[in-house]
Structure 1
Amino acid sequence: MVDEGDTAPEFTAPVATGDVESITLSDAVADGPVVLAFFPGAFTSVCTAEMCSFRDRLSAFEDVDATVYGVSTDSPFSLNEFRAQNDLSFGLVSDHEKDIIDAYDVRTSFDHIGLHGLAKRAVFVLDSDRTITYAWVSDDPSVEPDYDEVATAADAAD
């Protein structure tokens, strides 16, 4: 698994922004720190709460020029609807091919309900060199990250 001090794996993927655009990580970090918040699935209770918590705290990230991206294996089209229904103003990266969750080693399955190849709940903060300055990964999908800790890490990555 990638960890603090590692270079974050590069990726190019669709990003839901209201439209469907493309994001390349190395381009994104050129503008300042990046927060990658992996979540298992749009429209689920804990994932909705998590993304709405990032929405509600977005000014703390913007104040330090950090950009937040949610990352899931949902399609960019469903992520756009999820953004609209929850008034999310940050991009949601679609890892429909599961390349990103594999590169970051945050793939999980919910065998008891037959769902495989989803993202674990995880947060990585990257500096402008793509160095991971903060890493948090949960094996319990019901646990949300410490948002204040993530904001502090984004501030330190600036």
Structure 2
Amino acid sequence: MVSVGDDAPDFTAPLADGDVGSFTLSEHLEEAPIVLAFFPAAFTGTCTTEMCTFRDQMANFEDVGATVYGISIDTPFTLNEFREQNELNFGLLSDTNREVIDAYDISMDFADLGVRNVAKRAVFVVDGSGTVTYTWVSDDPGVEPDYDEVAEAADAASE
């Protein structure tokens, strides 16, 4: 698993930001600190709550110059609908091929539902040099991150 002090694994993924574009982490480091918020699936209870909480707390991240991106295995088209319905004010990244979740080593299964290889709920903060400065990974998909702690980590990474 990716740890604090590691170079953040670089990746390219479709970006759902109202349109569908491409996002490469290494090409966006000027937006650092970057908060990568992984979630299992759009339109599910805890995932919707989590993304809406990031939406509601965006001022905390903007105040420290941080940029938030949500990441799930959903298609960019699904993520755009999820953004619209929940009025999310940040981009969502589509990892349908599971390359990003594999690179960050945060895959989990909902075996009882027959759903495999989705993202654990996880947050990584990446600074302007591409170094991971904060990690939080939950094995329990019903647990949300400590948003104040994430904002503090983003603030520390901006210094």
Normalising by structure 2, report the TM-score. 0.98
- Measured after TM superposition, the shift of residue 156 of structure 1 is 0.4
Correspondences of 1:112-151 after superposition (within 5 Å): 112-151=112-151
Aligned twin of 2:32: 32
How far apart in 2 are the matches of 1:106 and 1:20? 25
One-letter amino acid of the counterpart of residue 72, structure 1: S
One-letter amino acid of the counterpart of residue 16, structure 1: A
One-letter amino acid of the counterpart of residue 127, structure 1: D
- Where 1:26 maps in the other structure, the secondary structure is helix
Correspondences of 1:75-154 after superposition (within 5 Å): 75-154=75-154
Normalising by structure 1, report the TM-score. 0.99
How far apart in 1 are the matches of 2:157 and 2:147? 15
- Measured after TM superposition, the shift of residue 31 of structure 1 is 2.4
Aligned twin of 1:46: 46
Consecutive unaligned residues of structure 1, counting only runs of 5 or more, are none
- Residue 55 (str. 1) matches residue 35 (str. 2): no
CA RMSD of aligned residues (A): 0.5
How far apart in 2 are the matches of 1:31 and 1:89? 15
Task: Among all aligned residue pairs of Structure 1 and Structure 2, give the percentage whose two residues are the same amino acid.
Answer: 63
Say how many residue pairs are matched.
Answer: 158
Consecutive unaligned residues of structure 2, counting only runs of 5 or more, are none
One-letter amino acid of the counterpart of residue 54, structure 1: F
